[in-house]
């Protein structure tokens, strides 16, 4: 059947048997040899082949089926975003679990609450950081028309880093003021730096040559997203290296970076909306 489903020119001669098959596909029935002969003589194949009963004309069914099968194997951006939202939500929720009073302390409650201020600070920094990454991830997914397996694995690497953030947050809050503060700040910094690396990799892979993006996406928005992501890795790496000099200063820089990205993300989101308008 493959040969009879390919697009043919109107002047092509089709055999009587081919006429029957093509006519049947278009809903035209022949019952006698005389009708078939007459159809062949009047080249009814022209009407059948030019019949607009199918968008784009008669197409190759095998190719159409293969294309449909390929689409079924590809995960949709909506399903990917739903899974990512779950990871972001769980990671943000787990942050508060590690905020608590030390056991066995005999000090007054007010004093104990004040003494655990590093836990509040670490929680706030990490929550804002995860929140900004969630907003940016949503904005990234919104630009996608489709995803492929390489993109999915890069996105899994990003989500793995996000899910890991509560652990270095607890370590930083517990040890930043002690002799092990350098190790705690380095662990936290390396985690956020790797997260920034995966974030950039996810976007650059999707946007390079418009590989996975909507065909009608505004180039200004694409370049704006790229510019906002590229500085992340070097800035987090620099803040991490400061831990060798002062763990407390390194932690403060992470907090400033969270505020910076919150402000810049708000500005970029407003700009992107203007572009869409």
Q: What is the maximal distance between C-alpha atoms in the chain?
A: 107
**CA–CA gap between residue 52 and residue 26 (Å, rounded):** 10
- Contacts of residue 89, Cβ cutoff 8 Å, sequence gap at least 6: none
Sequential pLDDT tens for the chain (277 residues): 444 444 444 444 555 566 556 555 555 555 555 555 555 555 544 444 444 434 444 444 444 444 444 554 556 788 888 999 999 999 999 998 888 887 777 778 888 888 888 899 999 999 999 999 999 899 899 899 889 999 999 999 999 999 999 999 999 999 988 889 999 999 999 999 999 999 999 999 999 888 899 888 888 888 888 888 888 899 999 999 999 999 999 999 999 998 888 887 666 555 444 434 3
**CA–CA gap between residue 194 and residue 196 (Å, rounded):** 5
Query: Looking at the DSSP assignment, which residues form a beta bridge with residue 213?
Result: 144
Question: By the 8 A CB rule, do 30 and 39 touch?
Answer: yes
């Amino acid at each position: 059947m493959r040969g009879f489903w390919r697009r043919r020119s109107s002047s092509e001669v089709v055999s009587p048997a081919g006429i029957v098959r093509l006519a049947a596909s278009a809903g035209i029935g022949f019952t006698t040899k005389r009708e078939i002969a007459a159809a062949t003589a009047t080249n009814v194949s022209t009407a059948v082949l030019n019949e607009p009963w199918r968008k784009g004309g008669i197409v190759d069914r095998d190719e159409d089926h293969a294309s449909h099968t390929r689409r079924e194997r590809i995960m949709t951006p909506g399903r990917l975003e739903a899974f990512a939202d779950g990871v972001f939500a769980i990671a943000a929720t787990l942050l508060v679990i590690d905020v608590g009073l030390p056991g066995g302390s005999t000090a007054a409650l007010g004093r104990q609450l004040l003494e655990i201020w590093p836990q509040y600070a670490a929680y706030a920094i990490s929550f804002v950081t995860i929140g900004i990454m969630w907003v940016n991830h949503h904005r990234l997914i919104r630009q996608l028309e489709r995803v492929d397996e390489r993109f999915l694995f890069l996105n899994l690497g990003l989500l793995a880093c996000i899910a890991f953030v509560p652990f270095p947050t607890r370590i930083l809050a517990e040890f930043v003021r002690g002799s092990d503060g350098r190790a705690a700040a380095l662990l936290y910094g390396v985690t956020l730096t790797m997260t920034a690396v995966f974030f950039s990799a996810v976007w650059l892979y999707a946007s390079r040559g418009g590989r996975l993006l909507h065909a009608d996406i505004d180039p200004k928005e694409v370049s704006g997203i790229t510019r906002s992501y590229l500085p992340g890795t070097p800035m987090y790496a620099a803040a991490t290296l400061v831990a060798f000099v002062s763990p407390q200063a390194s932690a403060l820089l992470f907090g400033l970076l969270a505020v910076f990205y919150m402000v810049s993300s708000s500005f970029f989101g407003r700009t992107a909306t203007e572009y869409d308008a």
